[in-house]
Structure 1
Amino acid sequence: MLKQLVLAASLALAVPANADPEFWKHEWPDTDFSRTSVENWVEILSGGPPKDGIPALSDPQFIRVSDETGIMGMEPVVTVEIKGAEPRAYPIRYLTWHEIVNDKVGGVPIAVTFCPLCNSALTFDRRVKGRVLTFGVSGKLRNSDMVMYDRETQSWWQQALGIGIVGEMTGAELRALPTWMESWDQFRARHPEGLVMAQPAHARRYGSNPYVNYDSSSRPFLYSGESPPHGIAALARVVRVGDRAWPLERLVVAGELREAGVVIRWEAGQASALDTGTIGRGKDVGSIRVRTAGGQDMPHDVMFAFAFHAFWPDGQWMLGR
């Protein structure tokens, strides 16, 4: 299974799947395919691993920052700070191989998600329509983005959008939480007494990147949609806030931007998780923090430009021209 997962993650196993939803019913007998927002089933492809072939986590363990000695300083982590709870870091070295962590922080059930193929790291409140959902990895892709599913209704969800796209939960929206990616060094400098997710009890090559040089590719994996406008490279990083996207290269030059009612800051020191074979040695892409003008953290994403264009085709490009 590990060899299969590594090959799939390195883009060698993924194959298009039958676009007829009747095909999916054999694999997903408890999913209501009569309810969907998907208009063209050709958009749904198999990423290689089957349902749960990439195992989401639902019982993460944590250790003190001072007890963690195996994470390199520039390695990216997803930082979760919820009132009433100790700050927590979820290392991308684990999320690369599991993509979803179901957890509960400060009484809030959350799902920390990472789609390597879109560089999308979002954290959601798992409470929907009076129910607490538990998420898994479907093994399907749409516009190269992970399709999640919930174990309670077997509905499918688009990770980049946080919206149900197939099944009982079609049209339901997950509430995104104001979390962000930063380096391990940046997290532990602010929270020396904080918590960090411990290494899961799975046989995976944690700390390695199975998508070597992916963010230097000219084309996304299993993506047949339009290229981004304005001559922006498909795999250029953009900072998405709502339906607006700021090219990361603007932030690298400016350091801080105050536009459209938000304050976006860039700080050097975070390695790309999609560059070299060792995550902690990836090129420095820096860390982003997004706040309101009043200083409140805001939900946002640092994703590839092609994914923003695919899911927000009428979105606004903040080019500063």
Structure 2
Amino acid sequence: MTPLRRLILAFATLALTLPAMADPARWQAEWPNTDFARASVAFSEIMSGGPPKDGIPAIDAPRFLAAADETRLSPREPVMTYAPEGAPARAYPLRYLMWHEIVNDVVAGQPIAVTFCPLCNTGMVFDARVDGTALTFGVSGKLRHSDMIMYDRQTESWWQQATANSIVGQMQGARLTQLPAWMESWDSFLAAYPDGLVMDEPPAPRRYGANPYAAYDTSDRPFMYRGEDPPHGIHPLARVVRVGDRAWPLERLRAAGELREGGMVLTWRAGQASALDTREIGAGREVGNVRVSDARGRPVAHDIPFAFAFHAFHPNGRWMVAP
């Protein structure tokens, strides 16, 4: 067991045995600018993930390399791909997102937030504007249903990464727009976008390329989660493809290769390593490359969370378990 995993488990035990510590009066010293009078969730659902505010440092103004010049990534390593029209596609390697969780970037004049929560496997890119105001985000150190709670630096409101909405503070009730982006292997990105860009290694003392959550996605239970298991006998840490409030089990898509349902076209092909399996990210077991498009072939916003996270945040969601 890695030292980080031991630390997480220790904080999980503490959080589960001391739920009363979820108290805004205790948080106010660290969060003097957060309006705790405005909240849409029960404070008892929020717990410390271990690190303090900004203990996991978000990346601002990331540097990029031409994809052809990148030599550190292995072929099966996962990256988050954002490919807007009119600008070069950008790859954000999970070897960096694993340690920073948020990248604040500007692409073709549009501010975006590239986010990844390792405990839920939720990787999403958001338009970082609300009513025309650009926001930048940091990692709060708090979790809800095991998912990262982000905060915006402008109002210090808290945002649920898995649902893209603000749950505490001045911005409570606001929602970010999820942009079409996807997780794929470095090899897949290079083949599709040979003239693309890739985020350069941040100047921070981290073991980039190593997975601090070794064997997490084959664990019996999620860390710091005390909610219900998903229905239909689906393992809590099985991956699903989420589009809105619908979830397709990844194993079903993998077996079919392609599914055309509900106006969506989902495809799976081999070649991507799990970032949350072996100690070395690029050596993880096969999870495959997933793409989701509409009937006209346009990319559709989606993510690939663990089943427990989909169930926690979409309790009335639709499980696409049968033809």
The TM-score with structure 1 as length reference comes to: 0.96
- The letter of the residue matching 1:168 is Q
Paired residue for 1:25, among 19, 24, 28? 28
CA shift, 1:9, in A, is 8.4
| Equivalent residues of 2:122, 2:162 under 8 A apart | yes
| 1:81 counterpart residue number | 83
| Equivalent residues of 1:233, 1:305 under 8 A apart | yes
Closer/same/farther in 2, CA of residues 72 and 49 from structure 1, 3 Å limit: same
| 1:257 counterpart residue number | 259
| 1:41 counterpart residue number | 43
| Counterpart-to-counterpart distance in 2, 1:194 and 1:273 | 22
Q: Deviations over 1:32-74 (max 9, x none)?
A: 0001101x21210100000000000011000011111110110
CA shift, 1:320, in A, is 1.1
Paired residue for 1:320, among 316, 319, 322? 322
- What are structure 1's unaligned runs of at least 5 residues? none
Secondary structure of the 2:175 match is: coil
| 1:307 counterpart residue number | 309
1:25-174 superposed matches below 5 A? 25-38=28-41, 40-174=42-176
| 1:241 counterpart residue number | 243
| Counterpart-to-counterpart distance in 1, 2:200 and 2:9 | 29
- What are structure 2's unaligned runs of at least 5 residues? none
CA shift, 1:11, in A, is 2.3
- Does residue 11 of structure 1 match 2:13? no
Paired residue for 2:295, among 293, 312, 318? 293
Secondary structure of the 2:191 match is: helix
| Counterpart-to-counterpart distance in 2, 1:64 and 1:49 | 33
CA shift, 1:6, in A, is 6.1
Q: Deviations over 1:112-168 (max 9, x none)?
A: 000000000000000102210000000000000000000000000000000000001
Secondary structure of the 1:302 match is: coil
- The letter of the residue matching 1:62 is F
| Counterpart-to-counterpart distance in 2, 1:178 and 1:135 | 19
| Equivalent residues of 1:10, 1:210 under 8 A apart | no
1:174-213 superposed matches below 5 A? 174-213=176-215
Paired residue for 1:281, among 280, 283, 296? 283
| Counterpart-to-counterpart distance in 2, 1:87 and 1:6 | 36
Alignment: residue pair count: 316
- The letter of the residue matching 2:192 is R
| Equivalent residues of 1:83, 1:106 under 8 A apart | no
- The letter of the residue matching 1:20 is D
Closer/same/farther in 2, CA of residues 13 and 131 from structure 1, 3 Å limit: farther
Identity between Structure 1 and Structure 2 (%): 62
| Equivalent residues of 1:162, 1:174 under 8 A apart | yes
| Equivalent residues of 2:5, 2:213 under 8 A apart | no
| Equivalent residues of 2:9, 2:223 under 8 A apart | no
Secondary structure of the 1:69 match is: coil
